[in-house]
Each structure stands twice: as structure tokens, then as C-alpha cells.
Amino acid sequence: MRKEVKEWWKQAKRDLITAENCKNSKDYYACAFFCQQSVEKGLKAIYIAKKRMSHGTMHSLIHSLIYFATEIDMPSRFYIFLRQLTPEFV
């Protein structure tokens, strides 16, 4: 696995841990934000691995979870969840 993919995946896991910590401290706004960040970074890791692109070449891409899900052929049953999670980035 490429170093860049590993780094994105590692950060996705860290953001998930942060989200869990925020949930436990009842900081729900931050929990939602870090959940979204975790999913986005995980999808980016998969996208980079599948498309063999570097983050530098896709840096200007939108932060759309649906975009990355579509690009990596994620099953559509997850799209409702991704649409609900996306506004938490803002």
C-alpha cells in the first residue's frame, strides 16, 4: 500500500477516535464533524488507491462524500447516510 494511502487511512482512524471521544464527552457537534472528516479521509484513501492518483492532483476536488463514493463504486445503499453526514462539514 502506498504511503499516501496509509497516511490518509491512519488520519481517518484518528478522526474516528476523536469523534468517539467527543461523543463520550457529549460534544455532539464536534462528534458529527469528526465523523464526517473520518469518512471523507477514508474515502479519499480508497479513491487514491483505486485511481492511483495522489492527493496533490486531486487537491482542488470538492469535499463531496457522494463524489468519492461514486468514484470508488460504493454500494448506493450508503448514499443516504453520506448525504446526511455531508452537511456536518460546513
pLDDT score, position 35: 93
pLDDT score, position 90: 47
- Half-sphere exposure of residue 56, counting CA atoms within 13 Å on the CB side? 1
Per-residue pLDDT of the chain (90 residues; tens, 9 = 90+): 789 899 999 999 999 999 999 999 999 999 999 999 999 999 989 988 988 776 555 554 556 788 888 888 888 888 888 888 876 554
Domain residue limits, the chain: 3-85
pLDDT score, position 1: 72
Rounded to an integer, what distance in angstroms lies between the CA atom of residue 34 and that of residue 17? Answer: 9
pTM: 0.76
State in Å, rounded, how far the first CA of the chain is from the last one. Answer: 31
